[in-house]
Amino acid sequence: MKSSQLTDSEINVFVKKIRAEEVAFKRGISNPAEVQELTWMDYVKGKVKSLLFTFRSICDFVLLIILSVSPKHRRKRMVYSAVNFMSNNQGKFEDRFLRTLFRDDILYINTSKEVYFSYVGTNRVFNIGGIVKLINIFTRSNESIIKYFRAHQLINTMVLMAYRPKEVYLMWYYDTNSLSIIFSRFREKLKIIEVQHGSIINYPPYSFVSEVNLVDCFYVKNEQTVSFLQQNLCKKFDCEFRLIPKNKVEKFDVDGVHILYASTPDFRGLHPVFLDFLNYAGRIKNLNIKIRLHPRERNEVCVQRFRSQMSDYQVVYEFDESSDMIIGNPLDDLIVVSPWSSSIEDAYDANITSVIIDNAGKERFSHLIDNEKCFYSNSLFSTLKLILPQEIDC
C-alpha cells in the first residue's frame, strides 16, 4: 500500500505538528508582523479584488473540467504550483524549478489564494485558490486546517476524476492542497512527485521518519539531500530519487568585490549583521552589491523598505531580477551572503563562496560550514577580510 488513509483528526495533528516545528525552527529570529490599519478605501478595494479573484477562479475551474474531454489536455503533466515558484520578467512568468526538467505540455494548477496569473511560458494556468476559499466558508469544522483540507479535497477530487493522471507534480508535500491529493481515494493509482524548491536538509517537514508514504519520487539538487531523505522522511519507504540537471555556465573574472545578498522575509528587510557591514562598505574599493529578494518580498512595499534601508548608506547597489543568479552566475569570485536562504546550499553546489549571518542558518547549514567555501559570521567585514585579503586591504 502506498499510503495509509488518515482521519481528519490525524491530518489536523500532522499539519499542526509540522507548522509548530517550523515556528520553533525560526524562533528567536523572526520579527513580529507589522500591523497596518486599513482605510475604508483599502477595505473596499480588498473586497472587490477578492470577489474578482474568486469569480475568475470559478471560471478557471469550470474551464479546467471542460478541457478534460480533450486528449491533448489529458496527456499534459499535471503540476500544482504557485507564483512564489516563478520568475517574473515584465509580467511574463517562467518556472524557476521545472525549466531544466520540462517546459511544455504542462497543466499548471495555481493553488495560491491571493495571486492570479494566466500563463507560465506558453502553458495556461488554472487558478483554484478563489473557489477553495469560497468552499471553505461553507465547510463545517472547528479546525481551519480541516476546513481548507476538505475544500481542497473536493476540488481536487473532481480534477483527478476528470483527468485520471498517472503522475502529479508538487512543489511541497505538506500544505493542505498537497495532502488532499496524497490522502485522496486515487492515491493508489497516482505517482506523487515533489520537485525540490528550497533546502531540505535539516528542515523540519523533512527531518522526521514518516509512518506514511507521502511522496513516491523526489527531484533533488544533490546527493546529500538524497542521503538525508533516506535517513529521515523516507526511511521506512522506497522512494525514487532523481537529480535536477544543472546548466553549465562559463565563468570569468571581473575586478572588484561582488556580493549577492539573498534575503529571508523574517527580518522585514536587511539582516542586522549585513547592516553593520554596510558601515564599513566605504573601505572596500569597487564594491558591487546585488540584493536578491525572497519571492514573498517581491512586492512594492518590501522593495521600498529595502530601498529605505540602503539609502542610509553611501553604497551603490541593485536588485537582482535574473531568473537564477546563483546557478547561472558568470562571476568567478561572487560571494553569497544570507541569513538562512536556500541560496547557501545552491552556492555550495555551484562552488561559490557563501557566508551565513544568522544562528538559524548556522544550525540549518551546519553540514556545509567548512571555512573554505561556506562560512558563518556575525562580523561580515572581518570575514570578508579573511576571504579576500588582497581585495580588502584595510
pLDDT digit string (tens) for 48-76? 888 999 999 999 999 999 999 999 999 99
Confidence category of residue 1, pLDDT binned at 50, 70, 90? very low
| φ, ψ (nearest 5 deg) of residue 19 | -65, -40
Pairing of strands 106-110, 191-195: unpaired
Where does residue 289 fall: left (phi above 0), alpha (psi -120 to 50 degrees), or beta otherwise?
beta
The domains of the chain, with CATH numbers, are: 8-243 (3.40.50.11930), 257-387 (3.40.50.2000)
Mind listing the pLDDT tens digit for each residue in 104-148? 999 999 999 988 999 999 999 999 999 999 999 999 888 999 999
- The answer to whether residues 259 and 320 touch, using CB atoms and an 8 Å cutoff, is no
Distance (Å, whole) CA 241 – CA 244: 10
CA nearest neighbour of 315 among 324, 306, 323: 306
DSSP line for 275-335: HHHHTTGGGSTTEEEEEE--GGG-SHHHHHHHHHHHTTS---EEE--SS-TTTT--BTTEE
What helix, strand, coil percent values describe the chain, rounded to 5? Answer: 40, 20, 45
Confidence category of residue 321, pLDDT binned at 50, 70, 90? confident
- pLDDT, residue 219, reads 97
* Cell numbers describing residue 267: 527580518
Q: Is the pLDDT of residue 380 over 90?
A: yes
Q: Is the pLDDT of residue 36 over 90?
A: no
- The answer to whether residues 178 and 82 touch, using CB atoms and an 8 Å cutoff, is no
Q: Is the pLDDT of residue 35 over 50?
A: no
Residue identified by cell 560571494 is 335
Q: Residue 339, class by beta-carbon neighbours within 10 Å (0-12 exposed, 13-18 middle, 19+ buried)?
A: buried
Pairing of strands 167-170, 77-81: parallel
In eight-state DSSP terms, residue 266 is G
Mind listing the pLDDT tens digit for each residue in 200-255? 999 999 999 999 899 999 999 999 999 999 999 999 999 999 999 887 766 667 77
Task: Please state, for a pLDDT cut of 70, what percent of the chain lies above it.
Answer: 92
Distance (Å, whole) CA 262 – CA 290: 9
Mind listing the pLDDT tens digit for each residue in 181-194? 999 999 999 999 99
